[in-house]
Amino acid sequence: MNNLTDITIADARDKLASGDCSAVDLAQAYIKAMKTGRDLNAYITETPEIAIDRAKASDDRRAKGETLGAMDGIPIAIKDLFCTKDILTTAASHILDGFVPPYESTVSANLQDAGAVMLGKTNLDEFAMGSANITSYYGSVKNPWKASDGKDLVPGGSSGGSAAAVAGRMAMAATGTDTGGSIRQPASFCGITGLKPTYGRCSRWGTIAFASSLDQAGPMTQTVRDAAIMLNAMAGHDVKDSTSAPVDVPNFEAALAGDIKGLKIGIPKEYRMDGMSPEIQALWDQGVEWLKAAGAEIVDISLPHTKYALAAYYIVAPAEASANLARYDGVRYGLRVPGESLDDMYLNTRGEGFGEEVKRRILIGTYVLSSGYYDAYYIKAQKVRTLISNDFKAAFKDVDVILTPTAPSAAFAVGEKQSDPVAMYLNDVFTVPASLAGLPGISVPAGLSQNGLPLGLQLLGRPFDEETVLRTAHVLETNAGFTLHSGVKG
Amino acid sequence: MSLDKDTVKNIAYLARIRVEEDKLEPLASELSSIMGWIEQLQELDTDGVEPMASVVDVQLPQRNDVVNDGGCRDAVLSNAPDAEDGFYTVPKVVE
């Protein structure tokens, strides 16, 4: 049984069906890989016993001629932002010390119901706030790709542990969550595929909240086909999340068949930023050529309010975070640091329990929501959000999908960009606008930087049209011929 | 927009986050640089624009006002750092 950790979900589905390998074989191969890859710090909690139990159950089903579908027996990692029943759930924060949820998030329950085998809970930026996975209470995550001088690189964030686990072959696939780019940017940095579905496609119930009007769960996988397969198992209406959309879930894998002849691809001129790195521009141009060669029509479009998206995001997201994180009070769960009075206990608990970046965002959020500033900042940002959303609505009258780079650079070294919060925020310049508009977006590994590091291209689609996004992504992937193993195992 | 030390002290209290006295000044300058960068929004004319409340064009669902969950006190309290006799506890608030 060689290289079971190199195969895709689609391959594993075939091998399991033909009896070439068992779910227990797969689980054991990945449990070993988790152990040997511990230096990357991709996992906060490993759950090998659960993995073996669920893999056995999957094999037992198959022995009786039953299967739960394509995800049955597939070993996956779960970002430690999804509550998992009776298993430590941390959000990578000190303030959730010892929190063991008595319930299971809808997304992880859906995956379990589809037969997926959980390997463990992956590391992330604290409360999913960050773009480099350096704010975790449980330590930074390392990118499996190394700089040419051997230096450690960040995996991106906030779903950095999930991205590193998939790229480092310590999980066949993983769940992520994306608020402003937290699936797509780490996917780009680690050379994997990351899909943020339309807001409302996956239930948010049981996922620890950061910014509720933006948070959305999605798959992080080796291939576009795997993303399609896994999304089917995650998505669906849920009465427990009133913002989960009561719409049908199509067969996403079926959408990969067929071509993109005549499809209109928008190229937004505002994403051609001043000072954009030539290699990012070259990759983007290459993507245009691939899609053109596949019969798509390239259309220049304008999204005029793009330059204001990031600033609007850094009002809206912290504002929602400050409200959501008010629940960590030292009374109901997690850390409690004693104090003389109730107020003292709150101040001590929250002062000690939250990390620096989380505190910064809570304070910004508290400030922009405070009396006298609410209209000037929060309402202003919500108006800008309307303008950004209208830009996309107008563009999607003329085009079917939009092509942009995923991130302004390849993965950077650990320690870079840490002193200036705004420089760190600029990592999400290409991913945040679609988040504000609730649109589906995917990052596909499309090439290598001059230093041999992976770079992603991003495709954005109409609301609930993940199918066109996936089909177009599949064309990019086929042309790019990107292989993970050359870089990571080289 | 520049935040001074007293403003930071005030919002930190509103957010119930203890910030040591010597950390207030550096924090004020960090937050000021973030707010200064955000200030670019003010150049945009948003008169007459409706503030966005939700990105999805679906009407929020309603359900019958009936009890559909509960009876799980022990599960609810299982994570409390200092539960006693089936209750959460807090430091004394009434003299």
Catalytic residue numbers of A, as ranges = 79, 158, 182
- B chain contacts of residue A311, beta-carbon cutoff 8 Å: 37-38, 40-41
Q: What percentage of chain B has pLDDT greater than the value 90?
A: 80
Q: Under an 8 A CB cutoff, do A367 and B17 touch?
A: no
Find the CB nearest A242 among B11, B60, B92.
B60
Q: B24 vs chain A: nearest CA distance in angstroms?
A: 12
Look up residue A381 and give its two tokens. Answer: 């940002």
- What is the number of structural domains in chain B? 1
- A chain contacts of residue B89, beta-carbon cutoff 8 Å: 331
* ipTM value for the complex: 0.96
Task: Write out chain A's pLDDT in tens, 490 residues.
Answer: 458 999 999 999 999 999 999 999 999 999 999 999 999 999 999 999 999 999 999 999 999 999 999 999 999 999 999 999 999 999 999 999 999 999 999 999 999 999 999 999 999 999 999 999 999 999 999 999 998 888 999 999 999 999 999 999 999 999 999 999 999 999 999 999 999 999 999 999 999 999 999 999 999 999 999 999 999 999 999 999 999 999 999 999 999 998 999 999 999 999 998 888 999 999 999 999 999 999 999 999 999 999 999 999 999 999 999 999 999 999 999 999 999 999 999 999 999 999 999 999 999 999 999 989 999 999 999 999 999 999 999 999 999 999 999 999 999 998 877 777 787 888 899 999 999 999 999 999 999 999 999 999 999 999 999 999 999 999 999 999 987 665 564 3
Q: Under an 8 A CB cutoff, do B55 and A366 touch?
A: no
Q: Under an 8 A CB cutoff, do B49 and A387 touch?
A: yes
**Would residue B29 count as lying in a domain?**
yes
- A chain contacts of residue B54, beta-carbon cutoff 8 Å: 213, 243
All domains in chain A, ordered by first residue: 9-260+440-489 (3.90.1300.10)
| Identity of the residue numbered A29 | A
- A chain contacts of residue B68, beta-carbon cutoff 8 Å: none
pLDDT of residue A1: 42
Q: Under an 8 A CB cutoff, do B44 and A384 touch?
A: yes
A305 vs B: CB within 8 A: yes
A278 vs B: CB within 8 A: no
**Would residue B85 count as lying in a domain?**
no
**Would residue B54 count as lying in a domain?**
no
Name the residue in chain A with its Cα closest to that of B59: A243
**Would residue B9 count as lying in a domain?**
yes
Which residue, among A86, A325, A364, A367, would best test binding to B if mutated, counting the most B CBs under 10 Å from its CB?
A: A367
- B chain contacts of residue A338, beta-carbon cutoff 8 Å: 91
**Would residue B25 count as lying in a domain?**
yes
Q: Under an 8 A CB cutoff, do A200 and B56 touch?
A: yes
State pTM to two decimals. Answer: 0.97
**Would residue B21 count as lying in a domain?**
yes
pLDDT of residue A274: 82
Find the CB nearest A421 among B11, B34, B90.
B34
Q: Under an 8 A CB cutoff, do A360 and B30 touch?
A: yes
**Would residue B31 count as lying in a domain?**
yes
Q: Under an 8 A CB cutoff, do A384 and B41 touch?
A: yes
Q: A380 vs chain B: nearest CA distance in angstroms?
A: 7
Domain extent, residue B28, equals: 5-42
pLDDT of residue A51: 98
**Would residue B15 count as lying in a domain?**
yes
Q: Are A192 and A222 in contact (CB under 8 A)?
A: yes
